[in-house]
Amino acid sequence: MHARRLVKRSVLGSRVYAPPGPAGDGAPLAVQAVKQDNRDLSTTGTGTTTTGTGGTGTTGPRRNVYTVLLKEFTEEEVACGTKGPLKPSLKQNSNNGFGKGLKGEAGGPGAPEEQRLAEGKRLGRPLDPDARSVSLLEQKRKVVSSSIDVPHARRSEEEVDMDKVTAAMVLTSLSTSPLVRSPPVKVSEGLSGSWKETGSTGPFTPSSYSSSGGYWSWSAPSDQSNPSTPSPPLSADSFKPFRVPSLGNGGGGPAGPEDPSLDDQDGSSLLFDEPIPRKRKNSMKVMFKCLWKNCGKVLSTAAGIQRHIRTVHLGRNCDSDWSDGEEDFYYTEIKLNTDAADGLGGLCPALPSALLSPPLPPPHPPHLPHHPAAGSAQPCGDALRPPTQNNIAVAVAKDNHGGACNGRLGGGGGGGGATPLSRSAPSALYLIHTDHAYQATAPVSIPSNGSSCGGPALGGFTPTNSFSISWQSPPVTFTGNSVSPSKSQGFSEQRSQTIAVLSSPPRATAALSRKVRGEGKKCRKVYGMENRDMWCTACRWKKACQRFTD
């Protein structure tokens, strides 16, 4: 059971980007497992990433150690799949679907075994702990490591990048997101098994928005194939923070904790186990906006926007509903707050109006992958690679962050969401949900490290920034570069002013304005308590005497 969980959580087969640097300039990496019999766990130092994987608990006295390696592949290897370890998965999966890919890979001698193993686990049957386990592990290793998602036969660089991004995000989620503690079990499975099948036959249940399956979703129901995960099925909403790739509003970073905002309500609730107010959720209307340059078309359904992108921008056959998910990166989700009472008025206080006032830059549709400005606007993002056609990660991250603070904030900089809709609709902003308590008293501190990271998207929140808002306690902290240089100044200045106003002690002003106590005779003294009815009205009311003013 545990072993299986580990396997499922394994990143084997995932492709990730190495951080920009001398060694790995974003070169695609594949996580592979190398079996090393009888090796001590502590000696697995060959790989970039090491981890003791499953099997240690079921292999008996003889321990097999698997070293997870990050292997590098050239663009050609990844994109063409003509050679190298990735080839099998590419070929096998090129028939549109992980599940199929998995099966294809497992089509060998190990497939039935794997299936039986799964079934056996499902039925709670004990497994044969001996050689069978070993072979199973090897098979599993094969299956997992080779089942790298290859969405479709049409294997363009963009698609490759999408996979990379997905893998990277998964890894990020696994390592950083507390939320992933339980859901993550599905990650590798999703990647290796049923991602692309979510829409149709796979065990995965497509999230409410995943009409195309272009983005990965964890909204897998209680994983029918894996009873070992007690986690209850999460609602589609609960996964919003994770569906970043397709959600422009998405909160923050690639996964979870960093992203506060937008989906804050969801994200925070997930992070802090706070129930999500139904009211707000119901008041949010979701729209989908095309991010294609100079387009900005807004549709009410994901399918519609995808079709739009597919046909209008990608020039694909409109008759075909087939989608490889590419469209997902060209539109963003916009939440419109339809609840007037809880809408802008309620939210604005959280973000001082001054913050919202900065002149909006000219509409600049955040054209994700193609937008040159985006890259120039965010020179820093270690997690972000230069804005090349390949770099969908940038788009995703930007999109998410823009969403995080979305709206006008997000609409800002380099490629934010300064689209007509985002500007006209207060919605984006809404993504920063606040509690009134916080609004009222919150001492707001915005420690900005003032790095060169001029925020592109709206505020320029980058994955490396930490943006945290506590909805429970007044202190609200914004850490990291939240805005672009030019904008940040105005932003911070105005903000500080606002803060000053907010924090100004009422008492102090009251003391200054408090009427100096009159030393003269007052009605009370003159008439005494007995003749109170002779007092002036003010005196009777304990107000400043109007009769004997000083």
Partner DNA sequence: GCTGCCGGGAA
Partner DNA sequence: TTCCCGGCAGC
Burial class (CB in 10 A: 0-12, 13-18, 19+), 334: buried
CB-based contact 377:386 (threshold 8 Å): no
Query: Which residue's CB is nearer to DNA, number 43 or number 441?
Result: 441
3-state secondary structure of 532: helix
- CA pair distance 356, 418, nearest whole angstrom: 13
CA distances from 308 to 130, 199, 313, 423 (A): 55, 19, 7, 22
Stretch that binds DNA, among 255-263, 425-433, 441-449, 538-546 (CB under 7 A): 538-546
Query: Which residue's CB is nearer to DNA, number 424 or number 541?
Result: 541
341 binds DNA (CB under 7 A): no
531 binds DNA (CB under 7 A): no
Query: Which residue's CB is nearer to DNA, number 290 or number 536?
Result: 536
Q: H or E element: which one contains 66?
A: strand 64-72
Nearest distance, CB of residue 527 and DNA, angstroms: 10
441 binds DNA (CB under 7 A): no
Query: Which residue's CB is nearer to DNA, number 182 or number 548?
Result: 548
543 binds DNA (CB under 7 A): yes
Nearest distance, CB of residue 432 and DNA, angstroms: 28
CB-based contact 241:179 (threshold 8 Å): yes
278 binds DNA (CB under 7 A): no
- Total chain residues near DNA (CB under 7 A): 23
Stretch that binds DNA, among 9-17, 61-69, 126-134, 540-548 (CB under 7 A): 540-548
Stretch that binds DNA, among 173-181, 276-284, 396-404, 535-543 (CB under 7 A): 535-543
Helix axes 110-123, 131-146, angle to 10 degrees: 110
Tell me which residues in 471-510 interact with DNA (CB under 7 A): 507, 510
- CA pair distance 529, 539, nearest whole angstrom: 11
Residue 434: CB atoms within 10 Å: 20
Nearest distance, CB of residue 4 and DNA, angstroms: 59
550 binds DNA (CB under 7 A): yes
Nearest distance, CB of residue 440 and DNA, angstroms: 12
Query: Which residue's CB is nearer to DNA, number 278 or number 514?
Result: 514
Rounded to 5 degrees, what are φ and ψ at 546?
Answer: -105, -10
544 binds DNA (CB under 7 A): yes
Q: H or E element: which one contains 5?
A: helix 2-9
Pairing state between β 64-72 and 466-469: unpaired
Output helix, strand, coil percentages for the chain, rounded to the nearest 5.
Answer: 40, 10, 50
The residue to which tokens 């599905």 are assigned: 186
CB-based contact 241:226 (threshold 8 Å): no
Nearest distance, CB of residue 501 and DNA, angstroms: 16
Tell me which residues in 506-525 interact with DNA (CB under 7 A): 507, 510-511, 513-515, 517-519, 521-522, 524-525
Query: Which residue's CB is nearer to DNA, number 357 or number 537?
Result: 537
Q: Which residues bind DNA (CB under 7 A)?
A: 507, 510-511, 513-515, 517-519, 521-522, 524-525, 537-545, 550
